[in-house]
């Protein structure tokens, strides 16, 4: 039997949707969100990152440019 407090400690789906994912927030600050979304869409459609190499490279290059700019 589940502990009564367990259900109360989890946010509702509505609350969860209102909160921004910390990873999405971090990627948004890099300026690479468009590349990240394209990669996510490819992964959702193809279910295999090997079929998404152009998107993987574009996202990686964007993140690398951001890192170089910070140095």
Task: For residue 38, give both structure tokens.
Answer: 């394209």
Runs of H (alpha helix) within the chain: 4-9, 13-18, 22-30, 33-46, 53-70
Q: Per-residue pLDDT tens for 16-67?
A: 566 788 988 999 999 999 999 999 999 999 999 999 999 999 999 999 998 8
**pLDDT top residue among 34 and 14:** 34
Task: For residue 20, give both structure tokens.
Answer: 């921004």
Task: For residue 10, give both structure tokens.
Answer: 């989890």
Instruction: Give dist(CA 71, CA 62) in Å, integer.
Output: 15
Predicted pLDDT at 8: 46
Q: Where are the domains of the chain?
A: 25-70
Instruction: Give dist(CA 33, CA 26) in Å, integer.
Output: 9
**pLDDT top residue among 27 and 9:** 27
Q: What is the pTM of this model?
A: 0.67
Predicted pLDDT at 17: 61
Predicted pLDDT at 20: 80
């Amino acid at each position: 039997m589940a502990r009564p407090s367990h259900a109360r400690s989890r946010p509702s789906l509505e609350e969860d949707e209102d909160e921004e994912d910390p990873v999405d927030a971090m990627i948004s600050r890099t300026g690479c969100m468009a590349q990240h979304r394209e990669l996510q869409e490819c992964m959702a459609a193809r279910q295999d990152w090997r079929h998404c190499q152009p998107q993987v490279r574009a996202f990686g290059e964007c993140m690398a440019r951001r890192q170089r700019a910070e140095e």
